[in-house]
């Protein structure tokens, strides 16, 4: 490249750049206060996940002395840079939390320390502590002496380290206590409306009642993060359901990858905790176990601030979203689908009134004979899973591919897999070596002497909580070509096929009526369409690519986009999070624009538009452009062929590309906020949803 920069951006630093964009929403004084606190909690959760999923891989690569072949960076250098970036993000996050707390005080809500309480308030909280909290505290004496069992420090638990001496001249020792999970982190101060105190402050002030026979010198809060991998033994895979359930129960014993501590904690105490955790990992995972504490100013785990009792329903929250309810009461969703394809944009089109209704109507309809669905993250409770269970119990033929290895949702998915099996449904727990990430469902309905197939395809999970918090698309259709492709998809996943592989669940080798499936078909299909745009540009034909995804990090696709740009193709990319493509580089990617939109709702919808010489092709579906999506998952993109719906997708893309609040990726990997006036894309969609409230009879 002409500027000497690596061809690709570093993926881990790109992920951290996304955390900075989320944090910017919390830092923005124009963001309503309760939403600022929510975004602070999102940053906390995202950094937790970074450590749980990525830090172990980085540490192993650093120990092995690996060099990234795409970026040319040494893993050891990347690891150090990531850790510096995280430290800076956490510092800014703590400062933002203090600003938010000062703002909360203006609205009558205060978080105070023990010394700010009156004598009577201290007495009341002391009694509450003795009656309701102290009895649930388990103490562990941390020692490195041989023969002493090490205390188990649960994942994401908050602990108080107590430094004490048995007598004035005895050596210092250490107890640790985990804060109880069934007590609020922030306790109301009796008799003072809106005034709270952190539970660890109450424990600190009353620790002598817990350890009356020793000399307590100080107390310090710390938090442990453990790796998020599941360890499934190969010989357990004959019974994957039990194996996943067992592995999930063992995840809390994974190696510790991070220890956050209060700044006031003495270095030797942090060192003692670290040594304890490293002894725990002896003989396994030593190379990924944490070796240094992470010092935090202020509160640990800022998610607790979302529980501040601020006044609701006013200026401190985003205005309520008036989502469309597209179907009139008493109308049939199936009748509407028979008239034409239905396209929905969530949460602006109510998820419960569309997707949930689709499953519930099908389960209750006596003419429906079959229901099939892929379930990745369904949550609990789940009206969609409940509808499938009810349908199976009523005698309908129900098939579900329940992806048991949907990270951090394994327990819920195991629960629903067992419930569906008990009700009489056929359940496949996933495919060996692959995750099934496609979002698809198929309903077969007997109508007179023929069977009609009704299809739903989504970009998001069958999860009502996500349906309210994420932007996603749904397409409902009875189109014969699409129904055939989805029927073939489920036949492959269920093993309901003819030939030598009959009865064997497997990924689709390739769909034939327009839909595109990974891991075998989607990547070459995308590369083919990108190359077609390049060919059209060289021939002087209209050539353009516009893609909206959550992540773009597949090297082969990135290089294909570089090639298309050099051929003259205008490329617009809207990438929420990780992006390794380096835009705006002379001679490489001058005509490639990369934007990121971060707003009230988590961006999750995916659109692919290819200019196709003036006859644009549009696709929506589950797949991002990352190696895991294109090579290690079953993903699905489907064509949107209705002219009005194509126009709607074009409008949606234009709103994102012109979003005044968007961030633009620069060639050096940093993002620049536009900071222009006018409604954001999400605000525009919310306004369109509110007036008028469209219904379909």
Token couple for 355: 């997707």
* Residue 667 contacts residue 299 (beta carbons within 8 Å): no
Residue (of 478, 482, 462) closest to 470 by Cα position: 462
Q: Is residue 340 flagged as an active site residue?
A: no
Q: Considering 346, 437, 456, 604, which one is annotated as catalytic? A: 437
Q: What's the rounded Cα separation, in Å, for the pair 75 and 4?
A: 20
Residue with tokens 């055939």: 484
Exposure string over 44-56, b if 16+ CB within 10 A, otherwise e: bebbbebbbbbbb
Exposure string over 112-147, b if 16+ CB within 10 A, otherwise e: bebeebeeebbeebbebbeeebbeebeebebeeeee
Q: What's the rounded Cα separation, in Å, for the pair 554 and 569?
A: 19
* Residue 112 contacts residue 308 (beta carbons within 8 Å): no
Sequence-ordered list of residues with C-beta below 8 angstroms from that of 628, at least 6 positions apart, any chain: 435
Three-state SS for 44-95 is HHHHHHHHHHHHHHHHHHHHCCCECCCCCCEHHHHHHHHHHHHHHHHHHHHH
* Residue 94 contacts residue 295 (beta carbons within 8 Å): no
Helix or strand run (H / E) with residue 178: strand 173-178
Percent of the chain that is helix, strand, coil (3-state, to 5): 40, 20, 40
Active site residues: 437
């Amino acid at each position: 490249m002409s500027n000497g920069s690596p061809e690709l951006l570093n993926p881990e630093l790109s992920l951290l750049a996304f955390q900075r964009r989320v944090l910017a929403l919390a830092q923005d004084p124009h963001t309503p206060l309760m939403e600022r606190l929510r975004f602070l909690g999102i940053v906390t959760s995202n950094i937790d996940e970074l450590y749980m999923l990525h830090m172990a891989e980085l540490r192993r690569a650093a120990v092995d002395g690996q060099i990234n072949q795409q970026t040319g960076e040494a893993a050891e250098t990347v690891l150090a840079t990531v850790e510096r970036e995280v430290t800076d993000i956490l510092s800014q996050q703590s400062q933002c939390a203090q600003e938010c707390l000062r703002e909360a005080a203006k609205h009558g809500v205060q978080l105070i320390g023990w010394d700010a309480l009156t004598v009577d308030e201290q007495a009341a909280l002391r009694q509450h502590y003795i009656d309701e909290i102290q009895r649930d505290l388990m103490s562990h004496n941390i020692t490195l002496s041989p023969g002493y069992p090490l205390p188990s420090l649960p994942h994401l638990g908050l602990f108080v380290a107590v430094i004490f001496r048995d007598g004035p001249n005895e050596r210092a020792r250490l107890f640790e206590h985990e804060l109880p999970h069934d007590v609020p982190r922030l306790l109301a101060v009796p008799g003072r409306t809106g005034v709270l105190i952190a539970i660890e402050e109450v424990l600190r002030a009353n620790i002598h009642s817990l350890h009356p026979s020793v000399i307590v010198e100080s107390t310090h809060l710390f938090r442990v993060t453990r790796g998020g991998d599941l360890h499934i033994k190969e010989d357990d895979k004959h019974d994957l359901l039990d194996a996943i359930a067992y592995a999930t129960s063992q995840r809390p014993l994974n190696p510790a990858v991070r220890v956050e501590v209060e700044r006031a904690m003495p270095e030797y105490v942090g060192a003692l905790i670290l040594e304890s955790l490293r002894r725990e990992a002896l003989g396994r995972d030593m190379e990924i176990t944490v070796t240094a504490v992470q010092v935090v100013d202020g509160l640990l785990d800022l998610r607790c601030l979302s529980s501040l009792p601020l006044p609701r329903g006013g200026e401190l929250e985003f205005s309520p979203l008036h989502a469309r309810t597209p179907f009139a009461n008493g109308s049939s969703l199936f009748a509407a689908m028979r008239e034409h394809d239905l396209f929905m944009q969530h949460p602006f089109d109510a998820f419960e009134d569309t997707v949930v209704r689709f499953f519930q109507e099908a389960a209750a309809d006596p003419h429906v004979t079959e229901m099939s669905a892929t379930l990745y993250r369904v949550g609990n409770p789940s009206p969609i899973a409940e509808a499938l269970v009810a349908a199976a119990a009523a005698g309908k033929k129900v098939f579900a591919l329940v992806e048991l290895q949907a990270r951090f949702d394994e327990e819920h998915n195991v629960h629903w897999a067992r419930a569906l099996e008990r009700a009489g449904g056929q359940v496949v727990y996933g495919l060996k070596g692959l995750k099934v990430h496609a979002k698809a469902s198929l309903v077969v309905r007997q109508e007179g002497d023929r069977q009609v197939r009704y299809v739903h395809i989504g970009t998001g999970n069958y999860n009502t909580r996500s349906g309210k918090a994420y932007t996603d698309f749904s397409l409902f259709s009875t189109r014969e070509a699409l129904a055939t492709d989805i029927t073939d998809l489920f036949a492959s996943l269920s093993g309901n096929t003819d030939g030598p592989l009959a009865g064997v669940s497997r990924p689709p080798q390739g769909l034939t009526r327009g839909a595109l499936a990974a891991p075998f078909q989607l990547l070459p299909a995308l590369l083919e369409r990108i190359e077609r745009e390049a060919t059209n540009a060289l021939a002087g034909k209209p050539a353009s690519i516009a893609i909206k995804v959550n992540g773009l990090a597949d090297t082969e696709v990135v290089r294909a986009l570089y090639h298309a740009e050099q051929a003259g193709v205008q490329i617009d990319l809207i990438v929420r999070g990780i992006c390794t493509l380096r835009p705006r580089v002379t001679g490489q990617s001058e005509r490639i624009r990369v934007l990121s939109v971060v707003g009230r709702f988590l961006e999750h919808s995916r659109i692919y538009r290819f200019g196709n010489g003036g006859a644009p092709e549009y696709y929506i579906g589950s797949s991002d452009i990352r190696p895991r999506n294109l090579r290690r998952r079953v993903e699905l993109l489907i064509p949107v062929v209705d002219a009005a719906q194509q126009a709607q997708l074009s409008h949606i893309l234009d709103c994102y590309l012109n979003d005044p609040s968007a961030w633009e990726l620069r060639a050096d990997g940093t993002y620049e906020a536009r900071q222009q006036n006018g409604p954001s894309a999400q605000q525009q969609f919310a306004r369109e949803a509110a007036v008028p409230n469209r219904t379909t009879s």
